[in-house]
Chains A and B, each alone.
Chain A
């Protein structure tokens, strides 16, 4: 039985990680095609990728969109969560539901909706449009994480701050937000990873300046190459680093 359960574990992990492992391994392929047989190790593809100006521009765009849209989503989500957790409003259950609902809608539908709305409003596809799209998908996530983290403990501290003369913005900035530093950071980094990986909204809402996933897709159109694998590995590396940092700093401290 023991052997079987270890075997099951191994198979499960292989199922999840084999594609990534293959991707990374063939990014070092010393040949023109990222398919078996493996012909030897080279860093040429990484050199090529890192020297590619379009790709590096796309990478910077992606970072910019991810950080800015996540910050906006975090601030909006935090404020909404704070209001709904602290103030008794008519229909607050409904408001909460409506705020979280976009999580259940596919990115494709959201992207199509945004495309239509932006066309109507005369907003051209751009990084800004993509950023707005990413705020739309990450706001429910940030809201849900912040809302779940708000408890009576903070409520009492906020009351004490008001009692000691803090104005409402000071209560938020000096007490509420710092007390929720861990969940706020978790929400931010999760948003960054989602935005960093997101393809379909970025594909439909960008035109000249594109994000990294869109650039990778256009590379794929010209056929398979170990260069694509190298880019994919870099993207994966960034995501994994973010998650590990998150685990080491925030989740560990929260325990």
Chain B
């Protein structure tokens, strides 16, 4: 079972501070949505409101078309995977995973069978008798996931579930998370501040900042065609070039006025938007690419970050003729 989530003009105030400011979102059933933003942007507050741990000051949350106002977490069709796992240390893994079923009155043999199946789903087959303290961080996270999925929620909420894991394990868990979501088909709402994680797993990314939704779209769109300057710089490195009267500092460009945003990897020798000859100020080999800073000859005050191909032999002081492949112009 799976359901969509409709968030309608939800605001949350704590005293005079505004945590969420009239946020509206439509999340489709079975979708993997990531709430992405810096700390304090309101993403966790929004997750808590969907899960029923906080009541919004204003607005409505509908899950599968039902208004959730005044519905306690235990009565919502949602479960949560918490950042610190929040496993029950005094119970075996099987009892942990079966806890939700026990609360729903499922008999012992059936819930044990279901718990074992869920543990197998997350790659912990045959470990049902272990205790949480015997596991590594990544394994605990899998148990937390199995426990939340065992009750077959319509919407699964994940509160920075990979935040405590080291980088390598995090990347591996991302793939598994995505695969498990495909398998079970449940709507996943996942909170993170890691934009690479967001792009790796999301069907659609919600970029949040200061209690507002800045952008909402598939990773490709949010990265390549960000709606706002905040999204452009939060999703990755970006060169911002002011355009006025059809002119950039390095010369005339066929784009409207505003801020021209160029990603370093979009700049190359062949790009159609010509920047012109640039002198290389510094260059460093990064493995996957060569990172360089260049200064257009026609605009000595402008400094652009550029990612050139691994094979490019770039020397400081050399002059390259550069252009941009993809770009957006945004109004501040």
Chain A residue contacts of B78, Cβ below 8 A: 163
A160 to B73, CA, bound (A): 10
The verdict on A179 contacting B74 (CB below 8 Å), with A156-B82, A161-B99, A164-B100 known, is: no
Which residues from 66 to 104 on chain B have a C-beta closer than 8 Å to any C-beta of chain A? 72-75, 78-80, 82, 84, 86-90, 99-100, 103-104
A159 to B78, CA, bound (A): 13
A175 to B72, CA, bound (A): 18
- A83 near B: Cβ within 8 Å? no
Q: How large is the interface on B (under 10, 10 to 19, 20 to 34, 35 or more residues)?
A: 20 to 34
Chain B residue contacts of A159, Cβ below 8 A: 53, 73, 82, 86
A164 to B103, CA, bound (A): 7
Chain A residue contacts of B84, Cβ below 8 A: 156
User: How many residues from A make CB contacts under 8 Å with B?
Assistant: 17
- A235 near B: Cβ within 8 Å? no
Chain A residue contacts of B89, Cβ below 8 A: 157, 179
Residue of B nearest to A180 (CB): B90
The verdict on A157 contacting B86 (CB below 8 Å), with A163-B73, A165-B100, A166-B103 known, is: yes
- A170 near B: Cβ within 8 Å? yes
Residue of B nearest to A171 (CB): B74
- A94 near B: Cβ within 8 Å? no
User: Do B86 and A178 have beta carbons less than 8 Å apart?
Assistant: no
Q: Out of B88, B104, B148, which one reaches A161, CB within 8 Å?
A: B88
User: Do A162 and B90 have beta carbons less than 8 Å apart?
Assistant: no
Shortest distance between the CB of B80 and any CB in chain A (Å): 5
Residue picked from A157, A161, A164, most chain B C-beta under 10 Å: A164
- A181 near B: Cβ within 8 Å? yes
Q: Out of B74, B104, B148, which one reaches A162, CB within 8 Å?
A: B74
Shortest distance between the CB of B328 and any CB in chain A (Å): 40
Chain A residue contacts of B79, Cβ below 8 A: 163-164
User: Do A165 and B86 have beta carbons less than 8 Å apart?
Assistant: no
Shortest distance between the CB of A182 and any CB in chain B (Å): 10
Shortest distance between the CB of B215 and any CB in chain A (Å): 29
A167 to B72, CA, bound (A): 10
User: Do B74 and A160 have beta carbons less than 8 Å apart?
Assistant: no
The verdict on A178 contacting B147 (CB below 8 Å), with A165-B100, A166-B103 known, is: no
Q: Out of A162, A170, A175, which one reaches B73, CB within 8 Å?
A: A162
- B51 near A: Cβ within 8 Å? yes
- B151 near A: Cβ within 8 Å? yes
Q: Out of A163, A164, A178, which one reaches B90, CB within 8 Å?
A: A178
Shortest distance between the CB of A226 and any CB in chain B (Å): 48
Beta-carbon contacts of B36-72 to A below 8 Å, as 1s and 0s? 0000000000000001010000000000000000001
Residue of A nearest to B74 (CB): A165
A-B CB contacts (within 8 Å), total count = 58
A162 to B148, CA, bound (A): 12
Chain B residue contacts of A178, Cβ below 8 A: 88, 90
User: Do A157 and B74 have beta carbons less than 8 Å apart?
Assistant: no
User: Do B88 and A165 have beta carbons less than 8 Å apart?
Assistant: no
Shortest distance between the CB of A169 and any CB in chain B (Å): 12
Which residues from 152 to 207 on chain A have a C-beta closer than 8 Å to any C-beta of chain B? 156-157, 159-167, 170, 174-175, 178-179, 181
Chain A residue contacts of B51, Cβ below 8 A: 163
Q: Out of B53, B90, B104, which one reaches A165, CB within 8 Å?
A: B104
Q: Out of B73, B75, B90, B103, which one reaches A179, CB within 8 Å?
A: B90
A164 to B91, CA, bound (A): 15
User: Do B74 and A175 have beta carbons less than 8 Å apart?
Assistant: no
A162 to B78, CA, bound (A): 11
Chain A residue contacts of B72, Cβ below 8 A: 162
Which residues from 260 to 289 on chain B have a C-beta closer than 8 Å to any C-beta of chain A? none
Chain A residue contacts of B82, Cβ below 8 A: 156, 159-160
A175 to B90, CA, bound (A): 8
Chain A residue contacts of B90, Cβ below 8 A: 178-179, 181
Chain B residue contacts of A161, Cβ below 8 A: 88, 99
User: Do B86 and A156 have beta carbons less than 8 Å apart?
Assistant: yes
Counting from the closest, the 9 A-B pairs by CB-CB distance are A164-B100, A165-B103, A160-B86, A156-B86, A178-B90, A165-B74, A163-B73, A157-B86, A163-B80
| A interface with B by C-beta (< 8 Å) | 156-157, 159-167, 170, 174-175, 178-179, 181
Sampled A-B contacts (30; CB under 8 Å)? A156-B84, A156-B86, A157-B88, A159-B53, A159-B73, A159-B82, A160-B82, A160-B88, A161-B99, A162-B72, A162-B74, A163-B53, A163-B78, A163-B79, A163-B80, A164-B79, A164-B100, A164-B103, A165-B74, A165-B103, A165-B151, A166-B74, A166-B99, A166-B103, A167-B74, A170-B103, A175-B88, A178-B90, A179-B88, A181-B90
